[in-house]
Homo-oligomer: A and B are copies of this chain.
Amino acid sequence: MEISSLGEFGLIRRLTSDIVPKNAETVKGVGDDCAVVAPAAGRRLLVTTDMLMEGVHFDLEYTPLQHLGYKSAMVNLSDIYAMNGRPRQMTVSLAVSKRFSVEDLELFYSGLRMACEKHECDIVGGDTTSSLTGLAISITCIGDAEADDVVYRSGAQVNDLICCSGDLGAAYMGLQLLEREKTVYHKLLANARARGESPDSLPPFEPDFSGREYLLERQLRPEARRDIVEALHAAGIRPTAMMDISDGLSSELLHICSQSGVGCRVYEDRIPLDYQTAVMAEELNFNVMTCALNGGEDYELLFTVPLTEHDRVSAIPGVKVIGHCTRSELGTLFVGRDGAEMTLKAQGWNPLANS
């Protein structure tokens, strides 16, 4: 169905009419000039926003729209958890070109809603408009936290332990894998054309993903770490600093160090890696540690805790102590397995490199 046949308000109704707000604080969702929220007394509000552009942040050739909706939500939910908060409301703006149908947007929304339902976040508004080329997605998420619970990037202290959830580099390897299979497919198409055959005459392309499912999942369907925030809370641990790993561990660690005025030492043999990440890096001739440090899109949590929390934080499943904070004049160091020290560099993904 063509989007223009529904019009803006018809489309919004179709995508959002059966959304029922779950949070008591959500007074009014979609349907007026503004959404209305009644913040719980004494709590701090957290606001984050992200913009995702087709061709820059995602490739629809290998990204199903449902997964894209899910991931678009997760990217924002992750920022709320990174402040030690809980997501509550979300606004979703889409600009779409002619090649998208109503059904495409329904797929996108189904993924988005799945993510929001899982994280108990209400979709309260947005904007749906047209674009001359491609798909643009802009999401704003509002969360909340008790005033004393909010964790900034700037609170790390000398001697604090540096901790990381999950494992790193897998999303980046997943991206490389998808790009490789895309190239294979395009070569098959080009060869068919060179032989004068129609691309339609080719057997269906079956990309080789066997044994790499984890990498694909990490790239296409990341999960914001609500479980880690809850586990820290249950253990009575308040991180001194925290952020989520979207641009790569190195880049994020440097943000925490510079904003906290500390240095750091992180250890190569402590960096969490998945087996599939290591195998894929080997196969593609990538340095797996470079992938883990600079790959990005992990959406894991990077945080610091006082040294006294060592035993309690180590006991949380999926959390690893990867180093500690030092006086800033000692620098921001990565210590190799052989003991060699290297200064960390922010070589994470630069969204403006192409602009």
State the A residues within 8 Å of B (CB).
Answer: 3-4, 6-8, 11, 27-28, 31-39, 41-51, 53-57, 79-80, 82-83, 85, 89, 91, 93-98, 100, 124-134, 136, 138, 140, 142-143, 147, 150, 152-154, 242-244, 259, 350-355
In the complex, are the beta carbons of A45 and B47 less than 8 A apart?
no
Known A31-B259, A352-B8; contact A39-B39, beta-carbon cutoff 8 A: yes
List the 7 closest A-B pairs by CB distance, nearest first: A138-B138, A130-B355, A34-B46, A33-B82, A37-B45, A51-B93, A129-B351
In the complex, are the beta carbons of B7 and A132 less than 8 A apart?
no
Residues in chain B near residue A143, CB distance under 8 A: 34
Q: List 14 A-B contacts (CB under 8 A).
A: A27-B44, A28-B152, A33-B79, A34-B85, A35-B46, A35-B48, A36-B47, A47-B91, A51-B136, A53-B129, A54-B132, A56-B130, A128-B352, A136-B136
In the complex, are the beta carbons of A53 and B127 less than 8 A apart?
no
Q: Which of B47, B53, B132, B353 contacts A124 (CB 8 A)?
A: B47
- How many angstroms between the C-alpha atoms of A257 and B48 in the bound complex? 35
Residue of chain B at shortest CB distance from A348:
B8
Known A50-B127, A95-B51, A133-B133; contact A36-B355, beta-carbon cutoff 8 A: no
Known A45-B37, A83-B36, A138-B138; contact A53-B352, beta-carbon cutoff 8 A: no
In the complex, are the beta carbons of B91 and A49 less than 8 A apart?
yes
Residues in chain B near residue A32, CB distance under 8 A: 83, 152-154, 243, 259
Known A3-B352, A140-B91; contact A33-B83, beta-carbon cutoff 8 A: yes
In the complex, are the beta carbons of B33 and A243 less than 8 A apart?
yes
In the complex, are the beta carbons of B4 and A50 less than 8 A apart?
no
Number of copies: 2
- How many angstroms between the C-alpha atoms of A53 and B127 in the bound complex? 12
In the complex, are the beta carbons of B100 and A355 less than 8 A apart?
yes
Residue of chain B at shortest CB distance from A79:
B33
Known A91-B140, A138-B49; contact A80-B34, beta-carbon cutoff 8 A: yes
Q: Which of B83, B132, B153 contacts A56 (CB 8 A)?
A: B132
- A14 → chain B, closest Cβ, in Å? 12
Known A36-B150, A53-B95, A136-B53; contact A47-B352, beta-carbon cutoff 8 A: no
Residue of chain B at shortest CB distance from A131:
B53
Residue of chain B at shortest CB distance from A10:
B352
Residues in chain B near residue A47, CB distance under 8 A: 34-37, 89, 91, 124-125, 140, 142
Residues in chain B near residue A153, CB distance under 8 A: 31-33
In the complex, are the beta carbons of B35 and A132 less than 8 A apart?
no
Residues in chain B near residue A89, CB distance under 8 A: 47
Residues in chain B near residue A54, CB distance under 8 A: 132
Residue of chain B at shortest CB distance from A134:
B132
Residues in chain B near residue A6, CB distance under 8 A: 352
Residue from A36, A80, A83, A133 with most neighbouring chain B CB atoms (10 Å) = A36
In the complex, are the beta carbons of B34 and A126 less than 8 A apart?
no
In the complex, are the beta carbons of A125 and B33 less than 8 A apart?
no
Residues in chain B near residue A80, CB distance under 8 A: 33-34
In the complex, are the beta carbons of A44 and B36 less than 8 A apart?
yes
In the complex, are the beta carbons of B130 and A352 less than 8 A apart?
yes
In the complex, are the beta carbons of B44 and A37 less than 8 A apart?
yes
In the complex, are the beta carbons of A125 and B7 less than 8 A apart?
no
Residue of chain B at shortest CB distance from A49:
B91
Residues in chain B near residue A132, CB distance under 8 A: 53-56, 133-134
